[in-house]
Amino acid sequence: MKALRFLTALILAAGACLTGRATYLNAKAKLAGVLIRRAWEQSIHSGEPRVPWPWADTHPVARLRIPRLSYDEIVLDAATPRTLAFGPAVLLNGADFGKPGNLVLAGHRTSWFRPLEEITQDDTIRIEWFDARRGGLYERAYTVNMIRIVDPLDVALLAPTSEDALTLVTCYPFGHSPRSPQRYVVRASPLGPSRLTESPGAAVASSQQSTGRLAGKLLENRFP
């Protein structure tokens, strides 16, 4: 009987530890998102890259939106495994923002790029970035014209192109299944040239409102 009670207590303790860890990781991810968005605002305001926390080895470089999916995420520099834990990121072999060629962004199938499961042909994708050389906030709109599921060794859609393109790539299938043997690739073509958006100051004010809402949600979840 004592052994049964001890086993029951051990199982309950293990369950509490796992629940606590999951809650901690969820809160940590939400806080990281707030800090990354704040760093993005600061970079727009200053015209210089800003790291989201002092020891970060990446920084925000753009904002990615898919209006029909209500998708809105900050894009990080350099798609390393560490960086991808905090958001979608730029593959270094692709074109840079505002430059000719194939701009390639990667994200995890379980989080940042999970919404791509619902993307369809002709959806609009918007990319916003700060051009330090020209001193302004620019945006370019793209339309989805190809969705492919490919083998990991098939990197044709990730290769440089002579025409301008935006490519989003993640593992497949979506979700938390232990295996992801394929890749899900979305290719989009520009609807027009990049354009200067609202003044950086106005953009910062708009982004600050978004960050305020995110921080409010974080506090609400942390202290119910």
Share of the chain above pLDDT 90, in %: 66
Residue 27 tokens, joined: 């809160």
- Cβ pair 147, 60 in contact under 8 A: no
**Among 200, 77, 196, 76, residue whose Cα is nearest residue 140:** 196
pLDDT band (50, 70, 90) for residue 1: low
Count how many Cα atoms sit within 13 Å of the Cα of residue 89 in the half-sphere of its side chain.
20
Average pLDDT rounded to a whole number, residues 176-182: 92
Architecture of domain 2-222: Beta Barrel (2.40)
pLDDT in tens, 52-63: 999 999 999 999
Report which DSSP code applies to 153.
T
Where do the domains of the chain lie? 2-222
- Cβ pair 210, 37 in contact under 8 A: yes
Average pLDDT rounded to a whole number, residues 118-137: 93
Buried b (16+ CB within 10 A) or exposed e, 160-169: ebeebbbbbb
Pick the residue with more confidence: 208 or 110?
Answer: 110
Average pLDDT rounded to a whole number, residues 117-122: 98
Pick the residue with more confidence: 144 or 1?
Answer: 144
pLDDT in tens, 89-105: 999 999 999 999 999 99
How far is 218 from 28, CA to CA, in rounded Å? Answer: 10
Bridge partners, 149 (sequence order) = 184
Q: Over 50: is that where the pLDDT of 6 sits?
A: no
* Predicted pLDDT at 135: 81
pLDDT band (50, 70, 90) for residue 199: low
